């Protein structure tokens, strides 16, 4: 069985001018199991006191939230997984 999930990687949305390598999950707007469309804002992270909206990369279902609210993470960590529709 192949894993067709798309990972939402923090490295892809990290601010280019950020000096810090750590951030935290501020809010989840979409729960696991919900349908999403590409571009829908699903959560918010903070890096160096800057809020960054994280969008769904593809249409589908948010199948797993890997990092809960208030979780700290390093650049490149996976926030969640979306199974494409």
pLDDT tens-place string over residues 13-29: 998 888 999 999 999 99
- 3-state SS class at 25: strand
pLDDT in tens, 21-73: 999 999 999 999 999 999 999 999 999 989 999 999 999 999 999 999 999 99
Residue-range domains of the chain with CATH: 6-84 (2.40.50.100)
Q: What is the pTM of this model?
A: 0.90
Q: Name residues whose C-beta falls within 8 Å of residue 61's C-beta, 6 or more positions apart in sequence.
A: 33, 34, 35, 36, 82, 83, 85
Check: CB of residue 15 under 8 Å from CB of residue 47: yes
Check: CB of residue 28 under 8 Å from CB of residue 45: no
């Amino acid at each position: 069985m192949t894993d067709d999930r798309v990972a939402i990687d923090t490295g892809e949305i990290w601010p280019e001018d950020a000096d810090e390598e750590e951030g935290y999950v501020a809010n989840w707007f979409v729960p696991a199991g919900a349908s999403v469309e590409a571009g829908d804002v699903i959560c918010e992270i903070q890096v160096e006191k800057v809020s960054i909206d994280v969008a769904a990369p593809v249409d589908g279902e948010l199948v797993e939230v890997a990092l809960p609210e208030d979780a700290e993470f390093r650049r490149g960590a996976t926030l969640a997984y979306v199974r494409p529709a």
